[in-house]
Structure 1
Amino acid sequence: MAAAVIILRPLRRGAAWVGKRLLPEAGGVRRGWWRQAQVFGKLTLFGRGLALSAVSYLGYEAYNSISHSAVVHASVKVEEIIEQADYLYGSGETKQLYQLLTQHKNSEDVEILWRLARASRDLAQLSSTSAEEKKQLVYEALEYAKKALEKNESSFAVHKWYAICISDVGDYEGIKTKIANAYVIKEHFQKAIELNPKDATSIHLMGIWCYSFAEMPWYQSKIAAMLFATPPTSTYEEALSYFHKAEEADPNFYSKNLLLLGKTYLKLNNKKMALLWLTKTRDYPAHTEEDKQVQKEAVELLNSI
């Protein structure tokens, strides 16, 4: 973990795909059926007026039936988009996922919006993405996350990805902004955990927040003290607690959580427990490039102990 504040690295693929390798990321409360309009106008009891009103009412009923069918169709379409998106996410098809979801960037559906924020962010993290494109995608991801949060504050996935996106933007706006955003980031991670206490990724990210502030360099601490009367702080003990809670929520869900358990125990001078978790990290099946990098770091730490 670099010594900068709140540096959040790419997350394990997560979504609706069977297997321990992937993290469940249901997006919170789905929107219900659109409320139907009420019948307009009043029936009159006088001859032609009654006939016209009856025709109007029958016309409304026909319109209402068509509208209801359109809503059902729209709902089914959204479900199909989400199903396709989750399959591509689980398969690691980042570019195809982004291409799929950007076709629906004007959607008002929260489930599509937070997935679009995630897809934009993941595309930005690819080594093949240029520095200019990465910056554009990072800010784009934040806009999608903001829109999703405006639509629904009851979705744990929205809060999680909003916090992640704010953190990413901080990399382009300097250390002062990054520290100033720290409270907001923490607030949304905590909200995500409150809404879904079983989401291991939110708990893991809260652990990273604590770890980052526990190892904050002196010059960053000085800046934080200048910005806040009570600057954000944390301890390795607090970070360790979150990493353990993440494992309890979903054992062996993420190689980096195992690594950070080992690194945190090293910070606390507990070599016995550090060896345990670093060995688990080394032996973790490497399915992604990140897993391989994490294993390499674990081996280097093991050799240094």
Structure 2
Amino acid sequence: MSRYKSSWRFLINLYKLTLKKKFSSPPKVVLFAFSLLWLDPFGIYEKLTSSLDNEKSPKGNMYWQKMTPDQLVDEADKLYSRGEYLQVYEILNRMRYNGNPEVQWRICRVLFKMSGDEKFSSNMREEMISEAYILINMALSLDDSNANIHKWMAIIIDAKTGYDGVIEKIKSYETIRFHMERAIELNPNDMVVLYMLGKWNYEMSRLTRFQRWIAKVFYHHDPPMSHYRDAYEFLMRSAELQTNEYYIPTFYILGKTCIKLGHFYRARYYLQYAAFLPPRTDYEEKCARKSKSLVIQLDKYDLASESIFYDFPNFTDQM
């Protein structure tokens, strides 16, 4: 009996040392010894770590404990809007396996955002996308009628195939289009998905016969066909929804689409708009810079003002 008492004294002393921060985490010997005494080592570990956390930030833990899952999701959305992506991940990751697809697609969203941060290594960014791909498939299996899940499925597949190689990239085109079209079917006023569809159609239209021949002969897959008119339709719908907020790449790609269609006055209008909007990210700044360059190049074309009133065949009927 005295042996057990001495063991308990030893454990208590180690516990006190831990709380005094002489160890960064509870010593493994504590967990092992407690397990020998028929106690739950993981439960003890959680208690010890929670004690340390409480000592460091007592208000923070009380704050999380008082919030419901729905309140945590709302808080995560607020943090996301402020660009505090790591905090969002830490909050939502607590609930990743609770069977809530709203939580899972939000984790995918923040993982995608963090994967674009170059302060992380290339391997870590790839792991983020791989984790997001697993989670978004879990979310889709739980809810097939959620527009956000289909939107982020398209985004994550596109990001993942960027790491997987050219063959997987070509094979993914149809799947990406399916999820974007499903997302816009469920939420017709999502300006982001409309932009994505517009850009997808623009990129498919840009593929030359030679590039398509290469894809068919060497990769055994035919890229989908599209037309610049389809790109124009989706991009215009996205631009019309951007009243209280804006996304510079929408107007940049819209201007380039108008150039491809031969409507240079329209192109100049949208490119000038993109060039003079204040950029908020590096990508927006890049698009704004390229827009200015294209505006200068358009000076050599006949920019008849009446061309802005031209309507494409069947475009008005489809609105």
State TM-score, norm by structure 1: 0.71
Q: Distance in 2 between matches of 1:112 and 1:280?
A: 36
Structure scoring higher RCO (CA < 8 A, sep ≥ 6) equals 1
1:280 aligns with 2:283: no
SS at match of 1:181: helix
Among 195, 202, 206, which residue is 2:193 paired with? 202
> For residues 176 and 131 of structure 2, what CA distance do their matches in structure 1 show?
18
Residue 248 (structure 1) shift: 2.5
**Farther off after superposition, 156-165 or 125-134:** 125-134
- Root-mean-square deviation (CA, aligned residues, Å) is 2.2
Q: Does 1:173 align with 2:164?
A: yes
2:252 and 2:271 in contact (8 A); partners too: yes
Q: Choose which of 229, 234, 238 in structure 2 pairs with 1:246.
A: 238
Give the structure 2 partner of residue 232 of structure 1.
Answer: 224
Deviates more, 1:122-131 or 1:287-296: 287-296
Relative to structure 2, which stretch is displaced further, 90-99 or 275-284? 90-99
Query: In the alignment, which residue of structure 1 is the partner of 2:263?
Result: 270
| 1:126 correspondence with 2:122 | no
**In 1: Cα distance, 2:211 partner to 2:77 partner:** 39
Of Structure 1 and Structure 2, the greater helix share is in: 2
CA deviation string 1:104-158 (max 9, x = no partner) = 2223111100000111111001122221111111111111111110010010000
Partner residue in 2 for 1:164: 155
**For 2:167 and 2:213, how far apart are their aligned partners in 1?**
11
Q: Is the 8 A contact 1:176 1:223 kept in 2?
A: no
Alpha-carbon deviations, 1:219-242, whole Å to 9, x = none? Answer: 5412443434x6411111111111
Q: Secondary structure at the match of 2:226?
A: coil
Larger radius of gyration: 2
Do 1:148 and 1:158's aligned partners in 2 also have CA atoms closer than 8 Å?
Answer: yes
Moved more, 295-304 or 116-125: 295-304
Distance 1:195 1:86 in 2: 21
* Residue identity matched to 1:260: I
Candidates 85, 99, 117, aligned match of 2:90: 99
Give the whole-Å Cα distance in 2 for the aligned partners of 1:235 and 1:168. Answer: 24
Counterparts in 2 of 1:80 and 1:220: CA distance versus 1, 3 Å: farther
Report deviation, 1:100.
2.2
Q: Which residue type is aligned with residue 222 of structure 1?
A: W
Give CA deviations for 1:263-294 in whole Å, capped at 9, x if unaligned.
11122232211110011111212233333222
Q: Tell me the distance in 2 between the aligned counterparts of 1:302 and 1:101.
A: 44
- Shift of the 270–167 alpha-carbon distance from structure 1 to 2, 3 Å rule, reads same
Identity of aligned residues (%): 27
Which residue is equivalent to 2:51?
Answer: none
Maintained 8 Å contact 1:281/1:294? yes
Q: Hey, what does 1:3 align to over in structure 2?
A: none
Structure 1: gaps spanning 5 or more residues: 1-73
- Checking the alignment, whether the CA contact within 8 Å between 1:107 and 1:113 is kept in structure 2 is no
Checking the alignment, whether the CA contact within 8 Å between 1:175 and 1:220 is kept in structure 2 is no
Conservation of the 8 A alpha-carbon contact between 1:125 and 1:134: yes
Deviation at 1:218, TM superposition (A): 4.7
Q: Which one-letter code corresponds to 1:286 in the other structure? A: P
Distance 2:102 2:209 in 1: 41
The residue that corresponds to 2:182 in the other structure is 191
* Aligned match of 1:86: 77
Q: Retained in 2: the 8 A contact 1:224–1:232?
A: no
Confirm whether residue 212 of structure 1 aligns to residue 203 of structure 2: yes
Contact map agreement 2:204 2:223 (CA 8 A) in 1: no
TM-score, normalization by structure 2: 0.68
Give CA deviations for 1:177-229 in whole Å, capped at 9, x if unaligned.
Answer: 1111111111110000000101111111111111111112555412443434x
Aligned to 1:67: none
